[in-house]
Amino acid sequence: MMTEIKIYQNSTPNKISELYEEYILNRTFENITLIIPSEFSKYRFGLLADLLKFVITLNSKSQINILKIDSDKENIDSIYGQEYAYPIISLLWNISKFVDKSNIDIKDLLRIKQNEYFKKMNSLQSLKGRKYLLSNTDHLSKNNGLIKTLENEYGFNDDEVYITNTVKKILNENVLVYNQQNSIELKNIIEDIGVIIYELTKNTYEWGKSDANMKVIPCSIRGAYFRFHSNSFDKLIDEFDNTPIKEFFNHRYIKENCVNALNKVYYLEILVYDSGIGYIEKFNNKDGLSDIEIIKKCLIKNQTSSNSNLRSKKGLGLDRLLNIIDKKGFVRIMTDKYCIYRDLIKDNYVPTPSDQLEKLKLDDWNKSNFNNDNRNKCQGSYVSILYPFKKGND
């Protein structure tokens, strides 16, 4: 029996979550055809993370046999203006059939388009829109799958200065090009963002490619994504109703410092993702810790690094991220059965010793007090950061 799952052009994070509930929780399916649109009507914070989580987890549970792109073969170029196209097609490359809306096989055409897109990412050429994607594919050859900014023939490019400078170049030339009046603020944070990408992509290299027994995961993608958003404050409040994002945008700090004369909010979204087994299963020193305690461990210095070829050996974990976006940012982490967040305006950063995990503040996105026993674990890990900009002199 064939199962057809369609992702619509007007999809939102909430609609993707509904698909997740329907097709992943406590069920498996056979002969899946996944239909993806040629574009989304609009993007909001978290949409790409939710979409990748859904597709990666669906494929790990039920395997996607056919990927149908809801476009004619002649217009297939348009999908490469969308950030979801390259990673989803890469994920499924060795296992799925690829067709257009008329069920015409388009794999040969997509091979050309995927290679073109990879070359653009690899050489830091401009992509369409105020956004950028760096996406690794582990099951392709290194020449066709690994972005040299992040990795080389010896493994992860363990050069924080190089990666930081590359991220600064990407942000300055491709993403944060909207308002030069904010250049002072941008100058102060762009280096910090580079540091965040260095830390988080290092984690995906160490944790995202293999299972708990160090066996390579057959279909493995990992990457970093940046997107500049310019949204009406009122629409943001409406569209994120009943989520922690609404509370975040409603803070006095945001209203006084980030809502400009046009009643708009400018903000940067950063996503670092991998299709691995997640923090909890991969963490090799559980010592009787609960799931949430393990996630907290991963947010504390010197906890996330495994034995690897990295010169630095000990990572600074996600602790460094919390410090950088303290008092102004928001972070959401989806891994295993959990979707947790930290609102750094509401709960400011405080360094936490590894033996005082109870002092590290984390909140449950689903408001279930982390009681997720009835939820199937997702495949992969997804760290999303929301950084609002001060309004400047608009």
**What pLDDT, on the 0 to 100 scale, is given for residue 317?**
54
Res 177 pLDDT > 80: no
H/E run at residue 4: strand 3-6
What span, in angstroms and rounded, lies between the C-alpha atoms of 370 and 359? 16
Q: In this model, does residue 341 exceed pLDDT 70?
A: yes
Q: Which of 27-36, 47-56, 67-76, 218-227 has the lowest mean pLDDT?
A: 27-36
* Cβ–Cβ under 8 Å, residues 105 and 99: yes
Name the residue with higher pLDDT: 175 or 153: 175
313 pLDDT more than 50:
no
DSSP labels, 292-315: HHHHHHHTSTTSS--SSS-TT-S-
- Sort 227 into a burial class: Cβ within 10 Å, 0-12 / 13-18 / 19+: buried
| CA–CA dist 351, 344 (Å, integer) | 13
Tell me: the pLDDT tens digits for 31-62? 999 999 999 999 999 999 999 999 999 999 98
Residue 215 has which token pair? 């066996």
pLDDT in the model for residue 306: 47
Nearest alpha carbon to residue 149 among 175, 117, 121, 182? 121
What is the overall mean pLDDT for the chain? 87
Can you give the pLDDT at residue 284? 64
Look up residue 285 and give its DSSP letter. Answer: -
CA 100/CA 240 separation, integer angstroms: 33
CA angle 197, 203, 205 (to 5 degrees): 100
Is the pLDDT confidence value at 283 over 80? no
